[in-house]
Amino acid sequence: MAFNVLVVDDSAVMRQMVIRTLKMSGVPLGTIHEAANGEEGLAVLSRQWVDLLLLDVNMPVMNGEEMLRRVRASPETESLPVIVVSTEGSDTRLSALLALGASIVRKPFAPETLRDTILRVTGVSDAEYYGAVPVANDSGDF
């Protein structure tokens, strides 16, 4: 199973860092889409199938919280797994994002942190992700 991902961040450099970290995480990736703000992100969602949304909070035009509210309000995207990738420090804002069903990954983050969060929010088990793990029998053979 490969994930089609949408990365929404107003910084092109940060989008590339998130994408590079995604690739280093080992998560199977399909198409990676990019958007520079929430409005562009919603336009991508209206045209493309996306399995996972990685979203910054502080952006011009439409911030991440407003985009997330609109994603949750649409029947087509209401259950889309969303990970907020941000330096946001406001407990009030983070609580609002969590209440909207997002998970939070704080910048900077390690590929393993991103991978573990993706597996948790998408409901993919370790066995599905890593494949069947051979188990030795009593004689040590697989």
- According to the model, what pLDDT value does residue 34 have? 97
Cβ(58)–Cβ(9) below 8 Å: no
Look at residue 25 and tell me if it is in a domain. yes
What's the mean pLDDT when you consider all of the chain? Answer: 86
Is 38 among the domain residues? yes
Q: Assess if residue 139 is contained within a domain.
A: no
Mind listing the pLDDT tens digit for each residue in 57-105? 989 999 999 999 999 999 999 999 999 998 877 788 889 999 999 999 9
Look up residue 127 and give its two tokens.
Answer: 């066995």
Residue 137 domain flag: no
The per-residue pLDDT for 125 is 60
Number of domains in the chain: 1
The CATH number given to whatever domain includes residue 58 is 3.40.50.2300
Structural domain boundaries enclosing 98: 3-130
Residue 35: pLDDT band with limits 50, 70, 90? very high
Q: How many CB atoms lie within 10 A of CB 125?
A: 9
Report if residue 91 sits inside a domain.
Answer: yes
136 is a domain residue: no
Distances (CA, A) of 103 to 10, 17, 29, 36, 83: 19, 19, 19, 20, 5
Residue 55 lies in a domain: yes
